[in-house]
Amino acid sequence: MSASITLVVLMAVLYGTGVYVMLERSLTRILIGFLLVGNATNLLIFVMSGRSGDSPIIDGQTDAASTVDPVPQVLMLTAIVINFGVTAFILALIYRSWWLSNLGDEGDDVTTGEEEDDAAEADQAQVFHRSLEGDDAAVRTVLEEGGDAEDDIDGGRGPEPEASERDRDVMR
Amino acid sequence: MNALVPLLVILPLVGAAVTLILGRYPRVQIAISVTALTAVTIAAAALLAVVDRTGQPAVVKVGGWEPPFGIVLVVDRLSAIMVVVSALMLLGVLIFAVGQGIADRDRDTPVSIFHPTYLILAAGLFDAFIAGDLFNMYVGFEMLLAASYVLLTLGGTGSRIRAGVTYVVVSLVSSLLFLGAIALIYGATGTVTMALLSDRIRELPLDVQVILCAALLIGFAVKAAVFPLSFWLPDSYPTAPAPVTAVFAGLLTKVGVYAIIRTDKLLFFDVPLTVPLLIVGGLTMLIGILGALAQADVKRLLSFTLVSHIGYMIFGVAIGTELATGATIYYIVHHITVQTALFLVVGLVERVGRSTSITRLGGLLKKAPFVAILFFIGALNLGGIPPFSGFLGKVGLFEAGAASPSPLVYVLIGAGAVTSLLTLYALMRVWNMAFWRPKEDVEGYESPLTESLQESPEATNGTATGVATATGTSKLMVGATTGLIAMTICLTVFAGPLFDLAQRAAGNVATPEMYVDSVFPGGVR
């Protein structure tokens, strides 16, 4: 079996960077690492089909020896779909984790029927919305300044230091 | 009869789809889930009867494609036993969950998503058990894992999200290892059909076989929670709702063990695995149970005993004789039942005593005598006291070990006996503290027994999990738990026939040629 060296090198790089990023504590980076490693594994499956060749369509003219092995492509396709579903779930998990670290469980209860609680929660919700607007504004300024926005948008770490503290607590 | 085979996967999947659509009608959802799982249980029991009578595995070529081009589903005695036991467990736990929903009046739990997810978990589980090729097994694993992610983080409370993150990341890594191993195996042999692999792998050089086998086994060992890859389990299982924990504890790790048996016996029977598996098996037993001794939280304690008892199964697989495989299969059945039942009992304890920490529980014998009896039977059974099935399973394993003696096997038998005693010690301490001790003694209780206990992180933070606040049990919850405990007693009463069945299943497993012949009746091309 022979394989393209480019793909093998690409796979190795993806595995290496993926595992490295996955070792971070931030959930978003874990997700990025998972995507890289997942794609590296897909490439590994792809590499197993050997040399490149004609598309494996049997129409009476193609020579079976010159076509590629279609099975790894099928396996890869299934693996991609599964990765996609899991990614969607992790994104939801990250969002929930960010929500909890910013608002706590109270963020879920909009009305409890008790007026005092409702008032307190309404206050909290307002504070939250204000902080959201603040975040948006901060992101916008950063974008306009053309600075490196990447540092701010990872792992659901808010701009406030204490938010990121709590965030880490949730992840631990 | 073969038409029943795909039904095992199709019925739960269709049930999941219908219950998802009918999310607004909880009663209809309950009816559909219970019907689907009952139907699967009956189908699986019928399959087990047929497969056991003929001794030939039932093979279905999905879509009429001949293997190795199409997917095959293979139900031999081992698969059938696993499917029957897990279907019964899923049904029992489902009834418990319904009972809990009734006791809660469905306020706090997002029930509309519970039933579809639960049925998808069932479908994935059955698919992994009956898969005739490695990739289909991977898909089955992914189905049940995806469902388990949702079930574990049900309600999305802080502690569950925290536990879910560990669980999801560990599962993802193990799945990727599994997938990578499949890719390598395909590269080496050009197929993923297990029957064909069984034939082709032995033509590979031994060192290549060892690498491929190790890659697969590491992936499965994470799922089965074998030491040193077991750290994630006691951290993630206990925070989930009681029924979910019960299903996870009973079934999910056993899928890993099942996959290890298949890998060892069907695919890589030439690779000498005895010594490494014996070592990890022994370490899993001892380290698991030592962890259990330090826990104050009963759910965490049981999670550690779960890890520890996986070691017995690895021990059985490691010995590798037909006798040992039979004993392992019996032990798996016993352990699935008793562990699920015990977690359900703890679910009841949690609701009667409003805590799961033995430093805070007390006087339960007076308060809930029936729950106490259920716990006592389950605990003695798990601890391996005669005449219960735990004792019979362990004796079976030790006998099989003594039949193929080596110094290491004797060390393992010793470790197994010690583990069994320590399990009993840990569970009897729970009994003494939570049930036997009068309620008024709980405040300011001092004893060497409780000095070194470690509270669960949730308890020390003072934020109880969502379930702990709910109280009250319903007849359905107690009934389901009683049913499962009664099943563990049945495993004792009917131990003779069941052990024979397990031995016949082991006979199937020990002759991979038969598996290959049933998939390729005309011989392997």
B340-379 residue pLDDT tens: 999 999 888 888 877 777 777 777 777 788 888 888 998 8
Q: What is the pLDDT of residue A21?
A: 92
Inter-chain CB proximity B182 and A75 less than 8 Å: yes
Inter-chain CB proximity A48 and B187 less than 8 Å: yes
| Percent above pLDDT 70 for chain A | 67
Average pLDDT, chain B: 85
> Cβ of A170 under 8 Å from any chain B Cβ?
yes
Rounded mean pLDDT, B71-81:
90
> Cβ of A103 under 8 Å from any chain B Cβ?
no
- Chain B residues within 8 A (CB-CB) of chain A? 135, 139, 142, 146, 149-150, 153, 156-158, 161-162, 164-165, 168-169, 172-173, 176, 179-180, 182-184, 186-187, 190, 192
C-alpha to C-alpha distance for B456 and B453, rounded to whole angstroms = 10
C-alpha to C-alpha distance for B126 and B8, rounded to whole angstroms = 6
Rounded mean pLDDT, B381-402:
88
Q: What is the number of other CB atoms lying within 10 angstroms of the CB of residue B322? A: 16
- Dihedral angle, C-alpha A103, A109, A110, A114, nearest 10 °: -120
Q: What is the pLDDT of residues B9-62, one digit of tens each?
A: 999 999 999 988 887 888 888 889 999 999 999 999 999 998 888 888 888 888
Q: Which chain B residues are within 8 Å of A105, Cβ to Cβ?
A: 157-158
Nearest CA in chain A to B173: A34
**B131 token code pair:** 């898969």
> Cβ of A37 under 8 Å from any chain B Cβ?
yes
Q: Which chain B residues are within 8 Å of A22, Cβ to Cβ?
A: 169, 173
Nearest CA in chain B to A24: B169
| Percent above pLDDT 90 for chain B | 29
- Give residue limits of the domains in chain A: 5-171
pLDDT of B418 > 60? The answer is yes
| Percent above pLDDT 70 for chain B | 92
B436-439 long-range CB contacts below 8 Å, 24 or more apart? B436/B365, B437/B362, B437/B363, B438/B362, B438/B363, B438/B366, B439/B362, B439/B363, B439/B366, B439/B367
Q: What is the pLDDT of residue B68?
A: 77
Q: What is the pLDDT of residue B100?
A: 80
Q: Which chain B residues are within 8 Å of A89, Cβ to Cβ?
A: 146, 149-150, 168
Phi-psi region of B523 (alpha: psi -120 to 50; beta: other; left: phi over 0): left
**Nearest CA to CA, how far is A9 from chain B (Å)?**
16
Inter-chain CB proximity B164 and A93 less than 8 Å: yes
Q: Which of A14, A24, A75 to mutate to test the interface with B (most CBs of B within 10 A)?
A: A75
Q: Which of B136, B141, B145, B168 to mutate to test the interface with A (most CBs of A within 10 A)?
A: B168
Among the partner-chain residues A27, A75, A96, the one whose CB lies closest to the CB of B135 is A75
Task: Note whether B244 and B152 are within 8 A (CB).
Answer: yes
**Nearest CA to CA, how far is B341 from chain A (Å)?**
30
Is the whole-model pTM more than 0.95? no
B171-174 long-range CB contacts below 8 Å, 24 or more apart? B171/B145, B171/B222, B171/B223, B172/A34, B172/A86, B173/A22, B173/B222, B174/B218, B174/B219, B174/B220, B174/B222, B174/B223, B174/B229
Among the partner-chain residues B162, B169, B180, the one whose CB lies closest to the CB of A170 is B162
Please tell me which residue, A82 or B273, carries the higher pLDDT value: A82
Inter-chain CB proximity A37 and B139 less than 8 Å: no
C-alpha to C-alpha distance for B432 and A136, rounded to whole angstroms = 57
Q: What is the pLDDT of residues B462-495, one digit of tens each?
A: 334 444 445 667 788 888 888 888 888 888 888 8
Q: How many residues does chain A have?
A: 172
- Worst-scoring range by mean pLDDT, A140-154, B39-53, B204-218? A140-154
Q: What is the pLDDT of residue B460?
A: 42
Inter-chain CB proximity B161 and A90 less than 8 Å: no
Nearest CA in chain B to A27: B165
Could you tell me how many CB contacts below 8 A there are between chain A and chain B? 77
Q: What is the pLDDT of residues A110-128, one digit of tens each?
A: 555 555 555 665 666 666 6
Q: Which chain A residues are within 8 Å of B157, Cβ to Cβ?
A: 105
Q: What is the pLDDT of residue A166?
A: 46
Q: What is the pLDDT of residues B98-111, one digit of tens each?
A: 888 776 655 555 56
Grade residue A152 by pLDDT with cuts at 50, 70 and 90.
Answer: very low
**Nearest CA to CA, how far is A138 from chain B (Å)?**
27
Q: What is the pLDDT of residues B338-347, one digit of tens each?
A: 999 999 998 8
Q: What is the pLDDT of residue A73?
A: 87
Inter-chain CB proximity B165 and A97 less than 8 Å: yes
Task: Note whether A172 and B458 are within 8 A (CB).
Answer: no
Inter-chain CB proximity A82 and B142 less than 8 Å: yes
**Nearest CA to CA, how far is A153 from chain B (Å)?**
19
